[in-house]
Chains A and B, each alone.
Chain A
Amino acid sequence: MIDAWIGGALALFFILCACGLVLSAATRGVYSLRAFVVFSAACSILMMFSSAVALASGHSFAIDLWRLNGWGRLSIRLDMLSAIFLFAAGLVYLPASLFVRNLVEVRFRGRYPTRRYGVLHFALMASVVLILVASDAPLFLISWECMSLLCYFLVNYEQSARMDVRAGYIMLVMSEAGFLAVVVAFLILGRGTPDWSFSSLAGMAEHLSGGAVWGVFLLGFLGFGVKAGLVPVNFWLPRCYTAAPAVFVPVLAGVTLNLGFYGILRLDAQLMSNHSLGTGLFALITGSITALVGILYATTENDLKKMLAHSSIENAGIIVAAVGASLVFHASGYAVAAAIALTAALYHMVNHSVYKTLLFQGVGEVEAATRTREMDRLGGLARLLPGLSVVFLVGCLSISAIPPFNGFVSEWLTLQSLLRSAVLLSSAVKILFALCGACLALTAALAVTCFVKVYAMSFLGIRRGDWRKVPGKAGRTQFPLAYLAVACLLLGILPTYVIPVLNRAVEPLAGASAAASLVPPFFTATPENQQLPPAFVNDFHNLGAQTGRHVLPGRGLVVMVRGSEKNPVVFAMSTSYSFVALAIFLFVTWFIATRSSRQRSVTRHELWAGGIPRLLPEMTYTATGFSNPVRVVFQAIFRPNIVEDSRETVAVHFRTAILRRRDETHLVDRLLLHPVGEAVGWLARLLAEMHHGRLNAYVTYTLAFLLIILVLFRLS
């Protein structure tokens, strides 16, 4: 029965995808756009539906397709891990489909054929779903390659500048390199395998030697890390996100980024269960460094889109750090801790998709309305676009991990699971965990700075640039954005309902249930329950942990990990209760404030700006100024190249204007890309030395080569 539902939904999805593809290509103008929106929205709803059914029932759906000669059977399997990623993808695709309409109308009409966009969009959607449900290497790799190519086309869809085209090329090269690494990883893994299905590959993994495990892990990790945006293979990401059209960036950040994590989890966590401590630590350290580097560049970046791209890197780092922690716990035999860390990773992945889509769409709106993305030129948008400013604020609060929004829950869980390293035996590992935890804590703090800057500089204050609002209907975009904002809030205040769902995917991977230990059943507690002794429940009853037990379903509203006798609670929180308390406090404050000020008169004068006659935009606090402390403190990392030109002088000592330029090269570019480029250039120059175009020389080369061959043959 459930099989039929899931299978039907998936089949319908592919049919609707094909219909959408054909219709948006065959029709013109408004009709093409309508077909696009309707079919794309229907497809994303089907994605969510099929995965929701699978998650609710806990039942994996599997079906064999056909045989390929020499490759074995192609098969599809929607297990719990796929279902979670599929649900997240649907969650992002729905607003992204509705959002297209607005932007396409504003920007593309007449400039770019919308029909081509539709074709690419549906093809990408289908390949994403195929990646997620593929259960054998050939299907997975083919769809992965399709996805990479389609991403390249979509990024280059709106190419207007040379830089954009270059960004597309860099992305293509990187994703192809990543793809090759993944292929090699699969080839090593499946040496001598009877068929290429994931289940038999998992069987092969058990016989791998230590070196091969490291090889497969590293190749897979870096190969998939290209899509996930991990240091050091992420230099394509900020360039490409900036170049990509505003309608496509949410998909890039909310869907294809996740595919990288999916690959890492599939290959490194599921197929290879025989992990050493080292691989986990590698992932943990890489993740922490990625997070820190990402947020540092995000904080100092003034282009909204580029800033969000760097912040995606930061979030990817957090997720991978949690995955790494989980692998370490798993390798050391702490299944419960591993499950909690993995839950944190998946939770953060879902959260990041939701709020990053919200923010990228918000930036798309801002760009459509003002034709600029420079924070130093924006300002005062809250008055211009009040609805957008509210939802954007929700996005900013979520991403900077402010309760009661969703970012808080997952970042808190991640940090807490890193703190659980106290149970580990080796003190060297403990120190590494502590350092990574400090790294992530610094990241969280910088993220707050970063998004205070984003919201304050672009939405508050006064307008700094000479842009004018592009007239247009803003109402239509409010719905998808509001939907995402509500999702942010719900994911934030209902963690005890989300964790059991995530747990379905986590349990088979980690070998223990995260929900059982993270969400103590305060609502359904019985005196016989050994895990939850009545005295303990009583203590928490007095704190209010059982409030609402007769009204609400589920296990409880408190997220908590219990410890030993000596230290009964390791960590605990409840965003649900604190949200209610917050709402009540806010209401009471508002009530008292309005009551008490009823008799008073309020006089409003203009803004106090130090008494200057007229507050010019140039005088206000700029985005550059706001983030300058970060720039100065972390100068050792940024290594800026500051050029000071003081050409406008009256006399030697009397300068009327100083021109100060600051060039920065990204850390990864500086440490990896440029040295590699220089090495290749050096090699090419060396080869060019040999090619000076004289025939005699070439004949000599041939002769020498022939002689060497002959000597070798003689010897062997």
Chain B
Amino acid sequence: MSFWFWHGLKKGVRSTHYPRKFESAAGVSPGRPVATEFDSATEAVLAAANCPVDAIVARGSAAEVKLERCIYCQHCHYGNPHLLEWNSDYEWTMAALGPGKYQPLPGAYHRSLHVMVVDAGDCGACLHEVKQLNNPLYNMHRLGIFLTATPRFADVLLVVGPVSENMRVPLLKTYEAMPTPKRILAVGACAINGGVFGRAFMSAGGAASVLPVDLLVPGDPPPPLAILHALLAVTGRKNPVAQMASLEGNS
């Protein structure tokens, strides 16, 4: 005879308490590089030169980070003399149009948000992290967030991948098929600006080049809690963090 209910009761609640409490268990987030003050301007320039995708910008003796460009190669974290400081949080969703320029969905969506995920040429990493939201640890259903298979029921379009040429039209069609009001999330460096693919003959270079993206979730891939933070930010239950650098240079 199975005592699954007894085992369940004995184990207790294992789901994360985020967003009620900050989740600080080891390994929930890879962290992120943050702006670091160096001793001299030369050191800052050397630190910036270490980044393969120009996500680090030297400004005087400080090295600033454009997180939306970062591909999380961790080059500025390990094994070179000019390391940046790393912050271990995960609330780094930002508004695509600039700080404070995001209009959250109204209150009716707070406990009922339906998300349509479109894999627009994703390598599988971001998709895998999105999938984690369904597991018992992150359990997004407790927050009233659900995945849906049809755009007719969807409020949020979650795009992963750099938008390959084959997925450009389906992505547009999905957006058109969604009822208003709707919001678009670009999850992962690729969906933000093409990531390592950039703009190429078969890559549109991010969702923003096809659709009016509302929120960006940097990371390559972003951890599940970062995506959860973004989904909470969609309805205004959390706020997008102030943007760390403008997007103009990319698109």
Contacts and interface: CB of A to CB of B under 8 A. Distances in A.
A608 interface: yes
Interface string B136-154: 0000000000000011100
Contacts of B61: none
A611 B150 contact: no
Contacts of B174: 611
Contacts of B180: 603
Interface of A is mostly: loop
Contact of A612 (B150, B152, B170): B170
A611 B150 CA distance: 10
Nearest to A612: B170
A613 B177 contact: no
B123 interface: no
Nearest to A605: B176
Nearest to B152: A608
B171 interface: yes
Interface of B is mostly: helix
Listed residue (A605, A608, A611, A613) with the most chain B CB atoms within 10 angstroms of its CB: A611
Interface in B117-132: 118
B173 interface: yes
B28 interface: no
B169 interface: yes
A235 B231 CA distance: 64
Contacts of A603: 180
Contacts of B173: 606, 608, 611
A469 B173 CA distance: 31
A610 B174 CA distance: 8
A611 B171 contact: yes
Contacts of A613: 169-170
A599 to B, nearest CB: 15
Interface in A570-620: 603, 605-606, 608, 610-613
A611 B170 contact: yes
A611 B151 CA distance: 10
Interface residues on B, range: 10 to 19
Interface in B164-208: 169-171, 173-174, 176-177, 180
Contacts of B151: 608
Interface string A409-435: 000000000000000000000000000
Contacts, number: 21
Contacts of A612: 170
A44 B118 CA distance: 64
Contacts of B169: 611, 613
A603 B175 CA distance: 13
B205 to A, nearest CB: 20
Contacts of A605: 176-177
Nearest to A614: B169
A610 B151 CA distance: 9
Contacts of B118: 611
Nearest to A609: B173
Nearest to B171: A611
A462 to B, nearest CB: 16
B150 A608 contact: yes
A68 to B, nearest CB: 75
Contacts of A608: 150-152, 173, 177
B152 to A, nearest CB: 6
Nearest to B168: A613
Nearest to A610: B170
Nearest to A607: B177
B149 to A, nearest CB: 10
Contacts of A610: 170
Interface in A542-593: none
A610 B118 CA distance: 11
A606 B151 CA distance: 13
Listed residue (B170, B173, B174) with the most chain A CB atoms within 10 angstroms of its CB: B173
A606 B176 CA distance: 9
A603 B177 CA distance: 10
Contacts of B176: 605-606
A641 B168 CA distance: 45
A73 B103 CA distance: 96
A608 B179 CA distance: 12
Contacts of B177: 605, 608, 611
B103 to A, nearest CB: 19
A348 B209 CA distance: 64
A463 B18 CA distance: 52
Contacts of B170: 610-613
Contacts of A606: 173, 176
B172 to A, nearest CB: 9
A268 to B, nearest CB: 57
Interface string A648-671: 000000000000000000000000
A611 B173 CA distance: 6
Contacts of A611: 118, 169-171, 173-174, 177
Given A606-B176, A611-B173, 19 more contacts: A603-B180, A605-B176, A605-B177, A606-B173, A608-B150, A608-B151, A608-B152, A608-B173, A608-B177, A610-B170, A611-B118, A611-B169, A611-B170, A611-B171, A611-B174, A611-B177, A612-B170, A613-B169, A613-B170
8 contacts: A603-B180, A606-B176, A608-B151, A608-B173, A611-B170, A611-B173, A612-B170, A613-B170
Interface of B: 118, 150-152, 169-171, 173-174, 176-177, 180
- 4 closest A-B pairs by beta carbon, nearest first, are A611-B170, A608-B177, A605-B176, A611-B173
Interface of A: 603, 605-606, 608, 610-613
